[in-house]
Amino acid sequence: MDGYNLVSFAGVFVLVGLAWVLSADRRNVNWRVIGWGIALQLAVALFVFVVPAGARVFLVVNDVVVRILDSAGAGARFVFGRLALGPGQVGEDGQESIGLILALQGFPTIIFFSALIAILYHLGIMPRIVKAFARVFTRLMRVSGAESLVVASNIFVGVESNLTIKPHLATLTASELCTVLTAGMASVASNILALYVLMLQERFPTIAGHLISASLLSAPAALLMSKLLLPESGRPVTLGLRVEPYYERESSLMEAIINGANAGVRMIVGIVALLIAVLGLVALVNLALASLGDVVNPLLGTAGRWSLGGLFGYLFYPVALVLGVPPADAGVVSRIVGARVIVTEVAAYGELAAAMEQGLLQHPRSAVITAYALCGFAHIASMAIFVGSICALAPERAKGIGPIAVRALVAATLACLVTACVAGTFFAEGSILLGRPGPTAGATKSEIRNSTPRQQADRSETSSDDRSIAFHKFRDDRDRLPRSVSLARNDIQAPDLRNAGLYALYADAGEFNARTASE
- DSSP secondary structure string for all residues of 362-375: -SHHHHHHHHHHT-
DSSP character at residue 104: I
Residues 409/225, Cβ–Cβ less than 8 Å: no
Polymer length of the chain: 519
Q: How far apart are CA 516 and CA 236, in angstroms?
A: 55
Coil, strand, or helix at residue 189? coil
Kind and range of the H or E element at 171? none
- Compute the radius of gyration of the chain from its Cα atoms: 23
Q: Is 505 helix (H, G, I), strand (E, B) or coil?
A: strand
CA distance 19 to 230: 10
The pLDDT, as a whole number, for residue 404 is 93
Quote the pLDDT of residue 433.
63
Q: Which helix (H) or strand (E) holds 513?
A: strand 511-515
Integer Cα distance of 45 and 53 in angstroms: 13
- Could you tell me where the DSSP H helices lie in 233-326? 253-300, 308-315, 317-322
Output the tens digit of pLDDT for each of the chain's 519 residues.
Answer: 578 999 999 999 999 999 999 999 998 899 999 999 999 999 989 888 888 888 888 888 888 877 887 787 788 888 888 888 776 677 777 777 777 677 787 788 888 888 888 888 888 888 888 888 888 888 888 889 889 998 988 888 777 778 788 888 888 999 999 999 999 899 887 767 777 887 787 778 888 888 888 888 999 999 999 999 999 888 888 887 888 887 777 888 999 899 888 888 887 887 788 778 877 888 898 899 889 988 888 888 887 788 887 887 888 999 999 999 999 999 999 999 988 888 788 888 888 988 988 889 988 899 999 999 998 888 887 888 888 878 888 888 888 888 999 999 999 999 999 999 999 999 877 565 655 433 333 344 344 444 444 444 444 443 344 434 444 444 444 444 443 333 333 333 333 333 333 232 223 333 333 333 334
Between the alpha carbon of residue 132 and those of residues 74, 128, 139, the distances in Å are 33, 6, 11
**Cα separation, 317 vs 110, whole angstroms:** 33
Q: Note the pTM of the prediction, 2 decimals.
A: 0.75
CA–CA separation, 215 and 471 (whole Å): 32
Show the CA angle centred on residue 371, arms to residues 369 and 373, nearest 5°: 65
User: Using CA of residue 271, residue 274, residue 277, residue 281, what is the dihedral sign?
Assistant: negative
Helices (H) and strands (E) counted in the chain, each on its own, are 20, 2
Residue 359 has a pLDDT of 87
Cα-based distances in Å from 240 to 147, 225, 230, 236, 394: 11, 20, 20, 9, 23
Q: What pLDDT sits at residue 430? A: 58
pLDDT for residue 231: 93
Q: How far apart are CA 56 and CA 453, in angstroms?
A: 11
Phi-psi region of 442 (alpha: psi -120 to 50; beta: other; left: phi over 0): left
Separation of alpha carbons 180 and 219, rounded Å: 11
Which residue type does 47 have? F
DSSP code, position 512: E
